[in-house]
Copies of this chain bind each other. A is one copy, B any other.
Amino acid sequence: MKEAETGFGAWMGAIQARMEAALARLLPQAQLAPARLHEAMRYAALEGGKRVRPLLAFAAGELADASAERIEIAAAAVELIHAYSLVHDDLPCMDDDVLRRGKPTLHVEYDEATALLVGDALQSLAFQLLAEHRIADEARTQLEMVKVLALAAGSRGMAGGQQIDLEATGCSLTLPELEFMHIHKTGALIRAAVLLGAACGRELQQNEKPGLDRYAKAVGLAFQVVDDVLDYDASTATLGKTAGKDSKQGKPTYVSAIGIAAARRLAEELRGQAHEALKGFDARSRRLGELADFIVLRKF
């Protein structure tokens, strides 16, 4: 069976398995000193979630004819940034969460100081991966990848979004304010996953770049809208994290800002925008389209 003929579910399963193996290989081994830190880093990053960002990196890499060996390094870097953000986000001074994907959060399983250092070290490791493996034709491109990831993770990206989130707790935000927050908090890293996956391959043509960027932005926002809808809908049992916690903590969500029906409509609209953005591409954009559907239509 040729790869192009593989169904989406099988493709997704294969990438998820591949990422698990890649992360297990790229993270420091648990017996290496300091062993407790390395064991905790693996606890934070392995067996984790749906791997949406790596899936996006692989789908964008396919568009650019990149090799899987390269994409998995770029995807691992993005996923390590994501994993570190979850560990820090769960800390008592932030969301104070005790459960993540059905398991005790890292500071509960280990301790707060270790959780702090795990997050710090996972971030360093992400940049190390982008620098020490050959994942683009030109070193100059790889430097650009480091910059894209650093911007996406930093104060004008994810960390900045977290800060806006902190300050917004207990406030009601307008839709544009909410959008500004999420473009930073989740959108920036999702966009980075798409751009980094593509950067592993051929140089995109001038007309391809804006389309891919529009796709990434639509999907990044859709992901958060759907998260808010699922958070509203779900029970603790099915979601594996404390459901409804965002609204309980007084955090503004798309549901609280515009209501559940309008939030569902918005997710659907963003899915349409994502597909629209892919129109200029050939069949190699198939997985990106399927992923937009998966992200919006998922039930968990």
**Which single member of B33, B41, B93, B131 contacts A143 (CB below 8 Å)?**
B131
| Number of copies of this chain that the complex holds | 2
**Which single member of B41, B88, B144, B164 contacts A120 (CB below 8 Å)?**
B88
Chain A 271-299, CB-CB to B under 8 Å as 1, else 0, gives 00000000000000000000000000000
Q: How far is the CB of A122 from chain B (nearest CB, A)?
A: 8
User: Given contacts A139-B140, A150-B128, are A34 and B167 in contact (CB under 8 A)?
Assistant: yes
Q: How far is the CB of A217 from chain B (nearest CB, A)?
A: 18
Interface centre among A119, A120, A156 (most CB of B within 10 A): A120
Residues from 135 to 154 in A contacting B, C-beta threshold 8 Å: 138-140, 142-144, 146-147, 149-151, 153-154
Whole-angstrom CA separation of A147 from B132 in the bound complex? 6
Whole-angstrom CA separation of A117 from B95 in the bound complex? 13
Q: Are A147 and B159 in contact (CB under 8 A)?
A: no
List B contacts of A157 (CB < 8 A): 124
Q: Is A113 an interface residue (CB 8 A)?
A: yes
Whole-angstrom CA separation of A120 from B236 in the bound complex? 30
User: Given contacts A88-B120, A127-B150, are A114 and B163 in contact (CB under 8 A)?
Assistant: yes
List B contacts of A162 (CB < 8 A): 117
Chain A 242-263, CB-CB to B under 8 Å as 1, else 0, gives 0000000000000000000000
Q: Are A154 and B138 in contact (CB under 8 A)?
A: no
Q: Are A155 and B38 in contact (CB under 8 A)?
A: yes
List B contacts of A37 (CB < 8 A): 155, 159-160, 163
Q: Are B123 and A151 in contact (CB under 8 A)?
A: no
Q: Is A268 an interface residue (CB 8 A)?
A: no
List B contacts of A84 (CB < 8 A): 120
Q: Is A112 an interface residue (CB 8 A)?
A: yes
Q: How far is the CB of A136 from chain B (nearest CB, A)?
A: 10
Closest B residue, CB atoms, query A85: B120
Q: Is A130 an interface residue (CB 8 A)?
A: yes
User: Given contacts A94-B113, A153-B124, are A34 and B160 in contact (CB under 8 A)?
Assistant: yes
User: Given contacts A116-B93, A155-B28, A160-B34, are A147 and B121 in contact (CB under 8 A)?
Assistant: no
Q: Are B114 and A155 in contact (CB under 8 A)?
A: no
Q: How far is the CB of A131 from chain B (nearest CB, A)?
A: 4
List B contacts of A38 (CB < 8 A): 155
Q: Is A91 an interface residue (CB 8 A)?
A: yes
Q: Is A4 an interface residue (CB 8 A)?
A: no
User: Given contacts A139-B139, A160-B37, are A166 and B131 in contact (CB under 8 A)?
Assistant: no
Instruction: List 16 contacting pairs A-B, 8 Å CB cutoff, sorted by A.
Output: A28-B156, A32-B156, A36-B167, A37-B160, A88-B117, A91-B116, A93-B113, A117-B159, A117-B166, A124-B151, A124-B153, A124-B159, A128-B150, A128-B154, A131-B146, A143-B146
Q: Which 8 A-B pairs have the closest CB atoms?
A: A124-B154, A128-B150, A93-B112, A139-B139, A131-B146, A131-B147, A121-B155, A121-B159
